[in-house]
Structure 1
């Protein structure tokens, strides 16, 4: 006897094989067969994808900003786009090819603002050869100073850094065809970034000044994040980028200027930190 059910739901008495039940049973059996075949061949990409998703979504903790509200080397932060309103996120399920000397993976902006292993980055000093004479005077980050963004230390055993290379006909961002941004396991000058004031008229005045995470009114400070090697700015746009986490938004490097020759919101970024008591 078949129990009466709503459309699309399959509830049957034990041992009865009829109608949709037979089709559903065969479908499940085919899935199991496919799983066993992949297991025998050592190709469990579905399980691997699930493992990446679960690990990537583990909760992480942001650094608590100090009373002076300055950003510091060693701070764990979120980097938020003012265009997509998402935060920079790693995608270790999407390996991309840059060159044979490094392993590289995609980055996007994700709408998930909860701190997780995949979206929390550490502000880190660059290699010694990429330091300026005054860089080691204190641990405060300054406008115009080179820094690196490292993926959360608990995310991967090998350190990975946000990087970029100059666009070529063979190497560019997937959809916008702009300068590619990615994570790499090779720390070099290509992993160096600098913060600039969002107002071009204020850049000379603020160069070398300490960077605050928030404005005096408590609002998020906007920055231009520029790639030190190429001089091109980090950007994000509402271009759908489908990956194992869903539909996210593309990240790339581009100077996106308005008619006043000032950067648009596609180049505006802000750091999210934890305040005392949060």
Structure 2
């Protein structure tokens, strides 16, 4: 009689072997169709980090149909104003662990955040859209409604930047102020306006084209509150530390908006396909650019 060895089949070995074969076949089938979780995550990340070419403004203004970035410029180096970060931030799609693992595309409603990266990718680029049927290529004007739609690297999907009044169940998680989010529904909640930076000149500039790459205030039409990055409220997302974006008007002692409410609509650099106008060197007197200086001069 043969002695017992570990290789001897005991128990429900036939059923276990069949189950293992079924799991393997199911794995192979899902891999062929791209339905594995790791494949979905990789596809989502590839779309969100896909390089996007920003629209180039030939006349210096922002137009309907332009692909742009929304940049909150560098804040004053003050502990009171920016205890978290004083560098520039861009508006971006926020992803938590749950949203990344749940689907291979963006689901509404979705969060937004401010990130330190200023490179134009699918995650932090937006398209300027008309509300009242404005023509693509026509400049938007101060006091005129427009929408901001995500590019996200998805050609068949678009979400819209929106906000609504704060309530007991709807508020920003960190500051408890008015929430900003992305939605798939078109409504008055997705309407925004560009406001001239200087309060004393706003009436004079009403109706004028909005200049690109210049500081301005972006106001939510429904609540009349301004888009802002407080910079002292941050959270950990799937991609790391990011800053909360809200709708709240911060006023100084002169009743003018603070730098938390400043925004720049960034367009592409005509001399560099992958560059932006904020990275374009500033010309110096005599036609010399900053990056042309050497130690000898």
**Structure 2 length-normalised TM:** 0.68
| 1:73 is the counterpart of 2:64 | yes
Deviation at 1:92, TM superposition (A): 4.7
Residues 172 and 46 (structure 1 numbering): CA distance in 2 closer, same or farther, change over 3 Å? farther
Q: 1:231 and 1:200 mapped to 2: Cα distance?
A: 15
> Which is further off, 79-88 or 186-195?
79-88
Q: Is contact 2:114–2:229 with CA below 8 Å preserved after alignment?
A: yes
Alignment correspondent of 1:54: 46
Q: 2:47 and 2:55 mapped to 1: Cα distance?
A: 21
Alignment correspondent of 1:223: 216
Please report the RMSD computed on the Cα atoms of aligned residues, expressed in angstroms.
Answer: 2.6
Deviation at 1:55, TM superposition (A): 2.4
Alignment correspondent of 1:87: 90
Q: 1:138 and 1:156 mapped to 2: Cα distance?
A: 20
Alignment correspondent of 2:253: 259
Q: Is contact 1:53–1:244 with CA below 8 Å preserved after alignment?
A: no
CA offsets, 1:80-131, max 9 Å, x none? 0124511100125465xxxxxx9210101111111100111000002x4xx6
| 1:241 is the counterpart of 2:235 | yes
Q: Is contact 2:123–2:153 with CA below 8 Å preserved after alignment?
A: no
Deviation at 1:245, TM superposition (A): 1.1
Deviation at 1:274, TM superposition (A): 1.1
Alignment correspondent of 2:187: 188
Superposed counterparts of 1:32-43, under 5 Å: none
Alignment correspondent of 2:207: 208
Alignment correspondent of 2:56: 64
Aligned residues, how many?
221
Q: 1:204 and 1:180 mapped to 2: Cα distance?
A: 29
Residues 137 and 275 (structure 1 numbering): CA distance in 2 closer, same or farther, change over 3 Å? closer
Alignment correspondent of 1:275: 269
- Secondary structure at 2:200 match in 1: helix
Rg larger for = 2
Residues 63 and 205 (structure 1 numbering): CA distance in 2 closer, same or farther, change over 3 Å? same
Q: Is contact 1:142–1:211 with CA below 8 Å preserved after alignment?
A: yes
- Secondary structure at 1:183 match in 2: strand
Q: 2:40 and 2:137 mapped to 1: Cα distance?
A: 42
CA offsets, 1:60-93, max 9 Å, x none? 1100111x21110011000001245111001254
Q: 1:261 and 1:114 mapped to 2: Cα distance?
A: 34
Of 100, 107, 120, the residue aligned with 1:115 is 120
For structure 2, list consecutive stretches of 5 or more residues without a partner in the other structure.
Answer: 1-23, 76-86, 100-106, 273-297
Q: 1:118 and 1:241 mapped to 2: Cα distance?
A: 17
Q: 2:193 and 2:225 mapped to 1: Cα distance?
A: 10
Q: Is contact 1:86–1:109 with CA below 8 Å preserved after alignment?
A: yes
Q: 1:172 and 1:46 mapped to 2: Cα distance?
A: 33
